[in-house]
Every structure is written in C-alpha cells, then in structure tokens.
Amino acid sequence: MKILVIGGGGREHALVWKIAQSPLVEKVYCAPGNPGTADLAENVSIRVDDLDKLLEFAKTNSIDLTVVGPEQPLSLGIVDLFEANGLKTFGPSKDAAYIEGSKAFSKDLMQKYNVPTAAYGVFTELDEAEAFIEKTGAPIVVKADGLAAGKGVIIAHTKDEALDAVRDMLNGNAFGTAGSRVVIEEFLTGEEASFLVITDGKHIIPLASAQDHKAIFDGDLGPNTGGMGAYSPAPVVTADIHEKAMRQVLRPAIDGMAAEGCTYRGVLYAGLMVKDGEVKTLEFNARFGDPECQPLLMRMKSDIVPILMAVANGDLSGLDIEWHDKAAVCVVMASEGYPGDYRKGDVIHGLDQAAKVEDLYVFHAGTATVANNCVTNGGRVLGVTALGNTVKEAIEAAYQGAACINWAGVQYRSDIGRKALNRN
C-alpha cells in the first residue's frame, strides 16, 4: 500500500513513524514533511493548503490512503475533494471539521445534545459582548471563533483584560476573520485531559488517555502554546471518568454530528476539564492532538493502518486497538521566544547522542536541513518521546534524551508528567 501523510509537524512525524512499521505498507510519502520524516518517508514539497497539487500528486502516484494531520486542510475540504476523486482519505469532511473550525458551532452542538460544557455566549457585536462581560465578571474566557493555531483563547483574570480582548478581536483585527465572532465563556477550574477517539461516525474506539501541557512555563504558568509536552496514560482519566467522557461527551457529540447531517469520521479530540469526578468539555479538535499523538502512537501496539483504512471505508466494526502497558512521555523542545516571535536557524546539537537512549524517539516538528546541519525552523522544534515501565521512568528517559540536545536559546518545561506523579 502507498500512503500519503499530509503535514510537517511532530504529529505527522509520529504518524509516518507508526505507519511505516506496518507490514501492509510499501511506501510512505509526507507532504511537506520535515527532516525527521525524510528518514522514513519520501518528502513531497507541497504545502498543506495546496489542495489541487496534493490531489494531483495522490492521483499520479496511485496513493491508496491519505492521512490528514493538521486542521487547515480539513477545514479547506481536502477530504471531500479527495473522496470526490475516488481517493481513500482518513479525516473528517469539511462540514464535520467545523466542530473545530468554529467554536460557536461546537458550543451550540454541545448545548443542543446536552454535552457538559462551560456556560457561554456568542457575539459579533462589541456592545453586546461588553455587556455580557460586565454582567458575568472575571475570570472569564474569550475565544476567537475560528482557527487561530491554538492562540485564540484569552483567559482574562480581570474584566478589563476581557474587554481588551473582545475589542481586539471584534473591533481590531486580532486573528483576522477568525476573530470577527467570539465565544465568551465561564472560566472552569480542574485538571485537563485530552480524550481522543477514532470513529467512523457510528462505532467509536477510544484511544489511550493523555494529558497535554498547554502553558509555556513550569507550573502551568505563562501564555498558552500549542502544547509543551504530553504523556499517556493520564491517571486523571479514571475508569469512571472514561465512562462519563464516552457517555456524556463523545457518544452524544458523534451522534449529534450525524443527526445534523455532517457525520464525523476520523479522530475526534475532546479537551476535557475534570473536577470532582465530573467532566466538562473545553473544545473539540478534528484531528490528532500535537504533541499528544507522539506518546499515544509510541504506546499503540496494533497496526494503525487497518484502523485508518477502515475509517476511510466508513466501517470500523469489529476492530479494536491494543496498547503497550508501558507509559510514554513527550517533552517538547522549543525555540527562544516561543510562543511569541521566535528565533530560527540555530544549529541543533546532540541528536545522535539522544538517539542512543533506549526506547526513545526524537520526533521533529520545526526543523530544517541547512548545509547538512539540522537547524531550528519553528516554535516547537522537537518532541523527545520515551517509553518507560511507569510514567516516572518514561519522564526520566525523556529528560535524559532532552539533556543530550542543545541549541542557542532552547527552552523546555522541566515538569512534564509531574501531575501524574503527584497523584501516586
């Protein structure tokens, strides 16, 4: 089988790594890929939003299955386009990907199908948004409606911060059209978990539990990022929480999408807030989480290809996923300045040393090859991911790997996975 993976971040490196291990696969392509995927696949220099070129490539090369990593091509309708051309594709349709593409749509879906979530309002008019903030008070959360690369969420600790945020989005041009409609919602407290499932729109296979670390600094301080590290399994997801997440969140959301005429096929990612034995839904994503994908795929024992193919064929019945008992931890190494403006082009040292650590894999995210050197080329640069018998052992191994690697201005959190240890 020939498989095309679309994307070029850590998530896509992990997907290529896992797919390339399948005995069913003879060749993997990755568009555009990165220096990490180049070791396992043939990189194809086509941007993720250039749907016409991607389609032409898939047709010309008789691709048997296309796996879409990031949200942007999903929201642009890549799955609809490929399917209309008879190509098997893993991912939700454009209409189904709206569950991530519009926070207002997603909140309205949750409300309609009784999925527990924070109380909220949706606004396009500044005076109404301001009045809502004045009435509700702080802390309060302001979210750009559209895609904003994980940065369109402002946790406002004071009314003034919230008012500034809505003015920037509705009056100014923060986040462009993504910010021309806002969701303002109740501030929730608790512990977050990333709950991912694979679905054909009817059958649901939950993936192993995971937890992300959104904030840039240790102790969950500083601004939010795309994710500074993740681990699996996450003990916050007890058997009871798992059952509630499936019954109260994933099942009604997936049935609701079908009832709305936009059957959801692919990975559905629910960001959950867990508190006092109850779950509330922060958001849905129409794709694998990044970096959650890295530890999850390292723990996946089953061949992923038959699962991806079954979803593309619209029938997951009879399939299941087996997991390694080991835990996995991914530490994201980022460039100086991230999540703001960051440096690029610094030479990365120590990748060979890190590769010698047992049960460890360094997934590339924002890297490039320049004059035979691997250099930084993005905010999140590497995802150093390790297996261990316990979360504690996996943390130690991941940090042993990270300690081998260095570049000017490198930054990473030193407390990835600590929440899991604090529970024991």
Residue 188 interacts, among ligand AMP, ligand GLY, none and using kind-specific CB cut-offs from 5 to 8 Å, with ligand AMP
Residue 227 interacts, among ligand GLY, ligand AMP, none and using kind-specific CB cut-offs from 5 to 8 Å, with ligand GLY
Structure tokens at 126: 């500044």
Sign of the C-alpha dihedral, residues 195, 157, 182, 73?
A: negative
- C-beta pairs of 238-241 under 8 Å, 24+ apart in sequence: 240/277, 241/193, 241/272, 241/274, 241/277, 241/279
- H or E stretch at 32: strand 27-32
Q: Write down the least CB distance from residue 194 to ligand AMP, Å.
A: 9
* Cα(299)–Cα(238) distance, integer angstroms: 18
Q: Coil, helix or strand for 74? A: helix
Binding of residue 192 to ligand GLY (CB under 6 A): no
Q: Write down the least CB distance from residue 397 to ligand AMP, Å.
A: 26
For ligand GLY, the closer CB: 123 or 284:
284
Q: Write down the least CB distance from residue 227 to ligand AMP, Å.
A: 9
Half-sphere exposure of 60 (CA within 13 A, CB side): 8
* Cα(52)–Cα(253) distance, integer angstroms: 31
The DSSP call for residue 37 is: G
Q: Write down the least CB distance from residue 188 to ligand AMP, Å.
A: 4
Q: Which of 192, 188, 293 is nearest to 237 (CA)?
A: 192
Binding of residue 71 to ligand GLY (CB under 6 A): no
For ligand GLY, the closer CB: 224 or 353:
224
Binding of residue 95 to ligand GLY (CB under 6 A): no
Binding of residue 290 to ligand GLY (CB under 6 A): yes
Amino acid (1-letter code) at residue 218: D
* Cα(44)–Cα(55) distance, integer angstroms: 12
Measured at CB, which residue is nearest to ligand GLY? 227
* Cα(91)–Cα(83) distance, integer angstroms: 11
Among 37, 66, 102, 285, binds ligand GLY (CB under 6 A): 285
Q: What is the layout of strands, in order, in the sheet containing 204-206?
A: 204-206, 191-199, 266-275, 278-285
Residue 130 interacts, among ligand GLY, ligand AMP, none and using kind-specific CB cut-offs from 5 to 8 Å, with none
Q: Write down the least CB distance from residue 327 to ligand AMP, Å.
A: 22
Per-residue HEC secondary structure of 131-157 comes to HHHHHHCCCEEEEECCCCCCCCEEEEC
Chain positions 209 to 228 lying near ligand GLY, rule: CB under 6 A, are: 212, 226-227
Binding of residue 130 to ligand GLY (CB under 6 A): no
Q: At what angle do helices 103-112 and 251-259 cross, to 10 degrees?
A: 100
Q: Which of 65, 29, 69 is nearest to 49 (CA)?
A: 69
* Cα(201)–Cα(69) distance, integer angstroms: 18
The DSSP call for residue 408 is: T
Binding of residue 100 to ligand GLY (CB under 6 A): no
For ligand AMP, the closer CB: 157 or 324:
157
Residue 185 interacts, among ligand AMP, ligand GLY, none and using kind-specific CB cut-offs from 5 to 8 Å, with ligand AMP
Binding of residue 12 to ligand GLY (CB under 6 A): no
325 Cβ neighbours under 8 A, 6+ residues apart: none
Other C-beta atoms within 10 Å of 414: how many? Answer: 12
Q: Which residues bind ligand AMP (CB under 6 A)?
A: 118, 141, 143, 153, 155, 185-188, 192, 214, 224, 271, 282-283
Binding of residue 32 to ligand GLY (CB under 6 A): no
Binding of residue 232 to ligand GLY (CB under 6 A): no
For ligand AMP, the closer CB: 46 or 166:
166
Binding of residue 366 to ligand GLY (CB under 6 A): no
For ligand AMP, the closer CB: 3 or 215:
215
Residue 64 interacts, among ligand GLY, ligand AMP, none and using kind-specific CB cut-offs from 5 to 8 Å, with none
Residues engaged in binding ligand GLY (CB under 6 A): 150, 212, 226-227, 285, 289-290, 292
